[in-house]
Amino acid sequence: MIQVQELTKNYGAKTVVDHASFTVQPGIVTGFLGPNGAGKSTTMRMIVGLANPTRGQVLVNGKNFKSSTHPLTEVGTLLEAKSVHKSLTPRSHLRAMAATAGLGKSRVDEVLELTGLGPVQRKKVGGFSLGMGQRLGIATALLGDPQVLILDEPVNGLDPEGVAWVRNLARQQAAAGKTVFISSHLMSEMAQTADHLIVIGKGRIMADAPISEFIDNGLAQTVVRARDIELLMNALAAEGVQLRRLDATTLEVTGPESEDIGRRALEAGIVLSELRPLQRTLEDAYMELTRDAIEYRSQMSNDNPAGK
C-alpha cells in the first residue's frame, strides 16, 4: 500500500505538487493520469525517496521507503528506463543489481525470460531501442519480486505485443495481491488496464475514483441531426441541458436521455435524421476534467478545447 499525505513539492517559487493526498491499494491496478507538467513524475519520485517533499509524507507499506533495508524486494520502480550504463548487457546489469540485494542468479534468468530479453541478454544496452530499454527497466523493477510496483510510462516505445504484455503483467501482479501504480498518457490502454484512477492537474489531485465511476458522470450524451437545427435547439433548451453545435445540421446534447430528446422533437414537429446515443470514454472524461489544468497546450487544443 502507498499512502500519500498532504504531499507538497516546491522548486523555488513554483509549486509542482500541492497538498496531494491519496492511497494506492493492493490487489488492484491504480492508474495515475495528468497533463504534462502536472506533477506525476515528481510525485512518483517522492514516493521512493528520489526527491524530498517540501511538506507532507509518504508511507510505503506503513513506513518511509528511505528506511527500507531491502528496497528491491519491497518496491520495484521504472522511472527512467535509459538509466542503465550503455556498455552493460541486460544480464550483467541485472546480475549486479541482484548481487546488491542478495538475490540468486536464477532470479536474473527468470526476469530475462519473463520480459522477453533472453535472446538479447548478452548485447550491450547502448544499442537498444526505446522499447527494449523499457523491457529492461521493467525487468529491473521485477527483479526482487516486490510487493509494490511503480511504473512511469511503462508502454512508451513498445509495439502492440509489448503493450498487451505490460497490461497483462500489471493485472497479474495485482491479482497476486501486490500494489500496482502506473502512469500513462495512453487513455485507451489505461481504460483496459486500470481498476482505479488518480488524476493530478497543476499539482493538485483532481479525481480519485474507480475507473467506471470516473467515466460515468451520470449525464447522457446524444448526437442529433435535423434540417432545422435552430428550431431543434429552441425545443431542447432547458435547465440542465447542454447543447453543442457540431455543424449546420448536427447537435451534441448532454443531459436528457435519447427518448426524451425524440419526444421533444416530435412535440415541436421536427423531423430528426439521426438520433444516436454516445458512449462516453475515458478520454472524454479525462479531457473534460483536465481542460483547465493543461499547462502546455497546442494551438489545436486552443481552437478546440473539448478535444473533439
Which CATH number goes with the domain that contains 74?
3.40.50.300
For residues 137 and 165, the answer to whether their CB atoms sit within 8 Å is no
Average pLDDT, the chain: 90
| pLDDT at residue 307, as a whole number | 40
The long-range contacts involving 102-111, CB below 8 angstroms and separated by at least 24 positions, are 103/72, 103/143, 103/144, 107/143, 107/145, 108/143, 111/139, 111/142, 111/143
**pLDDT, tens only, 10-30:** 999 999 999 999 999 999 999
C-alpha 306/C-alpha 239 separation (Å) is 21
Tell me: do 183 and 55 sit in the same domain.
yes
Tell me: do 35 and 177 sit in the same domain.
yes
Residue 243 domain-assigned? yes
Tell me: do 133 and 243 sit in the same domain.
no
Decide if pLDDT at 130 tops 80: yes
Residue 226 domain-assigned? yes
The three cell numbers of residue 87 are 556498455
Tell me: do 124 and 162 sit in the same domain.
yes
Residue 121 domain-assigned? yes
| pLDDT at residue 22, as a whole number | 98
Tell me: do 37 and 182 sit in the same domain.
yes
Tell me: do 40 and 172 sit in the same domain.
yes
| pLDDT at residue 296, as a whole number | 52
**pLDDT, tens only, 74-118:** 999 999 766 788 889 999 999 999 998 889 899 999 999 999 999
**pLDDT, tens only, 192-248:** 999 999 999 999 999 999 998 888 766 788 999 999 999 999 999 988 899 999 999
**pLDDT, tens only, 244-271:** 999 999 999 988 999 999 999 999 999 9
| pLDDT at residue 281, as a whole number | 84
Residue 301 domain-assigned? no
Tell me: do 238 and 152 sit in the same domain.
no
Tell me: do 59 and 203 sit in the same domain.
yes
Residue 292 domain-assigned? no
Tell me: do 234 and 191 sit in the same domain.
no
Residue 306 domain-assigned? no
pLDDT top residue among 270 and 281: 270
**pLDDT, tens only, 143-190:** 999 999 999 999 988 889 999 999 999 999 999 999 999 998 889 889
C-alpha 154/C-alpha 274 separation (Å) is 41
Residue 87 domain-assigned? yes
Q: What pTM did the predictor assign? A: 0.80
Residue 290 — very low, low, confident or very high, per pLDDT cuts 50/70/90? confident
What residues make up the domain containing 47? 2-214
φ/ψ (deg, to 5) at 110: -65, -50
| pLDDT at residue 302, as a whole number | 45
Give the list of residues 6+ apart from residue 123 with CB closer than 8 angstroms, or none.
89, 90
Any idea what the CATH number is for the domain that residue 260 is in? 3.30.70.100
| pLDDT at residue 60, as a whole number | 95
What is the domain count for the chain?
2
Enumerate the β-bridge partners of residue 60.
Answer: 2, 63
Which letter does DSSP use for residue 110 in this model?
H
Residue 298 domain-assigned? no
| pLDDT at residue 218, as a whole number | 63
Tell me: do 80 and 134 sit in the same domain.
yes
Tell me: do 128 and 227 sit in the same domain.
no
Tell me: do 206 and 249 sit in the same domain.
no
| pLDDT at residue 220, as a whole number | 82
